[in-house]
Structure 1
Amino acid sequence: MFALELILKIEELRLELNKLAACKRLADRELVLVSQRLDELLNEYHRLILEQQSK
């Protein structure tokens, strides 16, 4: 995934997570899964940035 794609997906998941957090318990399975996916994308973005900086 390219940086711009990652940023857009991260923002989409961040908004979804905020909506879920407003109406569900923090331990709700759906909320946890979205949070984990967001963490994965943030880590991927971080790796991508580090790779670009090392070039």
Structure 2
Amino acid sequence: MLEPSSEPHRIYGETILPVPGKKTKIALVAGLRFRISFYAVEVKKTASEYLFG
């Protein structure tokens, strides 16, 4: 009655989206860093306009 499963990682089935590869992860991190830096520049620009007119 208690038998080990053949593939324990397949309990929940396959994922809908494929696992991203190394290049995809690098591209996502680069894009995220670019967006954060762009946002930081915009916030700094807005803050300086607000403070100094």
Q: TM-score range by the shorter chain?
A: 0.5 to 0.7
Number of residues of Structure 1 aligned to a counterpart in Structure 2: 31
Aligned counterparts, 1:6-45, within 5 A: 25-45=18-38
- Normalized per residue, which structure has more helix? 1
Task: Flag as ranges the 4+ runs of structure 1 deviating above 6 A.
Answer: none
Point out the structure with max Rg over C-alpha: 2
Gaps of 5+ in 2: 1-17, 49-53
TM-score by length of 1: 0.52
Kindly provide the amino acid, as one letter, of the partner of residue 28 in structure 1: G
1:54 paired with 2:47, answer yes
Kindly provide the amino acid, as one letter, of the partner of residue 20 in structure 2: A
TM-score by length of 2: 0.54
